[in-house]
Amino acid sequence: MDFLTLFSVYVAVVLTCIVLVCKYSGQQQTPLGRLFNTVTQVASPWIPQCIQNISNRTVHRLFHQRNNFFIYLHLILEAAVYAEYSYEVFQFCLEMETTMVNVCVPYVLLAIKSCIFYLCCRRDPGTLTKKNHAAQLKVYQYDEQLFQEGSMCPTCQFVKPARSKHCRVCNRCVQRFDHHCIWVNNCIGAQNTRYFLLYLLSVCAMAGDIVVLTGDMLFHVVVRSGLMHARYIDEQGQEQPSGLLFIIQHLFLTFPRIVFMLGFLVFVFFLLAGYSLFHCYLAVVNQTSNEWFKRKGHSCQHCHPGSGHHSHTSYNPMRGFYNKGILKNLKEVFWPLSPTRKKDN
């Protein structure tokens, strides 16, 4: 397989992963998600109806019903990365005189991440039931903007506690609802937000560490082989010095699986690093992503009794209704509030 064919396959797979993760990571308003929707709408007149029906049923089953498909996909990708790391990179790193401690760090991070991932998948996010409903009504005050006192959930037939939301995928109301994450097949709510945040950070650490070790290995390969000072004969028979493109092509053809793994992990690291920073920010200001998307791009409306009109006030997330300071906000994420330990407003 020549370089261009291999590289084309590589780019196609990476772009597919980007679209898949961006569109179905639990958020609906990413630029790639909107682009995917636009392309689907434009192409739909040329796609047979039977194929569209099958596709719609498959998408609904995968992304709008609880299932373990993405947990299995997550584990398969993780196994593929660690198999390649163990089979090739581990030994190369030892030959490059990387210490045993450094090359074993990814396995320690994998063990930590696996424990957190299990808790994130299995931990109840804070499901509202008849037994705990009355108590949960007392945990948060209503801000009368996003959460109005007396609002009913038409499915559960409950008065909605402040900051709760009904998840259509799980078919349940969740306390301090953040979003439904298909990658853990669970809602993210009051009782498992801390595990979700630690899960994101641990995956970033895993990806980043393997990227550094693999990048260091390839750098030493280039230095030791003398590729930076090598020369080659072009199609016209002229001798040319090797440049960056030549070195990348050489590495891609010599270590295709390693370079593919490296590119995939770089993408995962930067994507999840941005996503992790977003959720760290939400934790610091005591918001959920559900609340952030609801407030984004519009003003909050307050109805003044007797005024007969609405006044529009811009929303400042750093002085949000539930924000009580960085330390107390983080404490609320890692030690969720209960009716006996309510937040002071």
* Distances, alpha carbon 306 to alpha carbons 27, 148, 301, in Å: 39, 19, 15
Nearest-angstrom CA–CA distance, 251 and 214: 12
Whether residue 181 lies in the annotated active site:
yes
**What is the residue type of 278?**
F
Kind and range of the H or E element at 31? helix 31-43
Kind and range of the H or E element at 26? none
* Distances, alpha carbon 187 to alpha carbons 126, 147, 262, 331, in Å: 9, 19, 31, 20
Residue 114 near residue 74, CB atoms below 8 Å: no
Which phi and psi (to 5°) does residue 188 adopt? -110, 115
User: Active-site residue among 93, 181, 187, 204?
Assistant: 181
Nearest-angstrom CA–CA distance, 186 and 66: 8
H helix intervals, 226-338:
244-254, 256-285, 289-295, 326-334
The torsion of the CA quartet 313, 317, 319, 325, rounded to 10 degrees, works out to 170
Distance of CA 61 to the CA centre of its chain: 20
Angle between helices 244-254 and 3-23 (to 10 degrees): 90
Nearest-angstrom CA–CA distance, 248 and 264: 15
Residue 293 near residue 115, CB atoms below 8 Å: no
Provide the 10 A C-beta neighbour count for residue 235.
5
Which sequence positions are flagged as catalytic? 181
